[in-house]
């Protein structure tokens, strides 16, 4: 999780994801404070994703990202069935899915850290604290898993997402450049556009694809 790229070295043929980092405890505290200051609808319920609800999740994921500046490749039911649902939390309003957050805990030899690999809220449910509720649940999950630090990547043009996570103590720790035209020879997937949830599934936004966007 380091970066040696400066703004000057970013070529016009690339775009960047900002690598953002926060202390899990700090993010949880800030998310809790938001809740104590605001009236959050008591019918916002957070639960883990159940595979029986995968069709509703696919619809939710695609609707969230259609209304986002991020490079995007729609999720299909087939791909969603490959997801490990551990760490994927759903926000429901009145029994219907309104948002999700996908979390992974990376255990390395010398460190353990959390990653938010995707977050989205339906356009008509935004600015009501749904993402805050999901971040609150995610940071609790990271702390329970022993991850004191949490990372996420935010597309440089995604200002709402940057505003959201900066509210919860995330600061820029590096950048990941992606080529405008992803290489078909990429093995690691590191240079692919798209958040990690997409990269883990091998979903590649690509030029000329009718269903992909913004690449
Ligand atoms: C980013 C996103 C998840 C925010 O969800 P949300 O439920 O609207 O966020 P919240 O209501 O919890 O917002 C909490 C705080 O974050 C900040 N914030 C959230 N959205 C913001 C925006 N569009 N502009 C400015 N600040 C924003 C504000 O400080 C807000 O508190 P306030 O409403 O009291 O001002 C949502 O806009 C979204 O789904 N975007 C599309 C998907 C996406 O881009 N995901 C990120 C990439 S993985």
Burial 110-147 (b: 16+ CB within 10 A, else e): eeebbbbbbbbbbeebbebbbbbbbbbbbbbbbbebeb
Cα(160) to centroid of ligand 1, in Å?
5
**Ligand 1 atom with least separation from CA of 121:** 39
User: Which protein residue's CA is at the shortest distance from atom 18 of ligand 1?
Assistant: 164
pLDDT digits (tens, 9 = 90+) for 74-119: 888 988 898 888 899 999 998 999 999 999 898 888 889 999 989 9
Amino acid 8: pLDDT: 43
- Residues of the chain with pLDDT below 70 are 1-13, 39-41, 179-215
Amino acid 14: pLDDT: 76
Q: Which CATH architecture has domain 13-200?
A: 3-Layer(aba) Sandwich (3.40)
Cα(126) to centroid of ligand 1, in Å?
7
- Ligand 1 is surrounded, with C-beta below 6 A, by 64-65, 67-68, 70, 118-121, 126-132, 158, 160-161, 163-164, 167, 195
**Ligand 1 atom with least separation from CA of 133:** 12
Cα(185) to centroid of ligand 1, in Å?
35
Cα(166) to centroid of ligand 1, in Å?
10
Q: Rounded CA gap, 174 and 153, in Å?
A: 9
Name which of 20, 65, 38, 42 is nearest 168 in CA terms.
20
Amino acid 192: pLDDT: 52
**Ligand 1 atom with least separation from CA of 134:** 12
Q: Rounded CA gap, 198 and 78, in Å?
A: 13
Cα(130) to centroid of ligand 1, in Å?
9
Amino acid 100: pLDDT: 96
Contact 198, 187 (CB under 8 A): no
Q: For the range 181-189, what are the long-range contacts, defined as Cβ-Cβ under 8 Å and sequence gap of 24 or more?
A: 181/206, 181/207, 181/215, 182/206, 182/215
Boundaries of every domain in the chain:
13-200
Q: Which residues pair with 154 in a beta bridge?
A: 18
**Ligand 1 atom with least separation from CA of 69:** 44
Cα(32) to centroid of ligand 1, in Å?
16
């Amino acid at each position: 999780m380091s970066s040696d790229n400066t703004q000057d070295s970013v070529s016009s043929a690339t775009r960047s994801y900002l690598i953002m980092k926060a202390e899990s405890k700090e993010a949880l505290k800030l998310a809790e404070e938001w809740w104590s200051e605001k009236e959050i609808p008591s019918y916002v319920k957070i639960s883990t994703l159940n595979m029986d609800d995968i069709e509703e999740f696919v619809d939710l994921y695609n609707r969230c990202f259609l209304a986002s500046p991020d490079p995007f490749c729609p999720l299909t039911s087939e791909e969603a069935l490959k997801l490990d649902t551990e760490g994927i939390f759903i926000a429901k309003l009145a029994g219907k899915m309104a948002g999700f957050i996908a979390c992974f805990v990376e255990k390395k030899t010398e460190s353990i850290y959390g990653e938010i690999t995707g977050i989205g809220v339906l356009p008509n449910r935004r600015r009501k604290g749904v993402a805050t509720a999901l971040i609150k649940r995610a940071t609790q999950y990271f702390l329970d898993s022993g991850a004191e630090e949490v990372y996420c990547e935010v597309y440089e043009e995604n200002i709402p997402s940057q505003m959201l996570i900066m509210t919860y103590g995330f600061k820029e720790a590096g950048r990941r450049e992606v080529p405008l035209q992803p290489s078909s020879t990429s093995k690691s997937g590191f240079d692919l556009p798209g958040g990690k949830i997409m990269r883990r599934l091998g979903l590649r936004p690509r030029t000329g694809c009718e269903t992909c966007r913004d690449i």
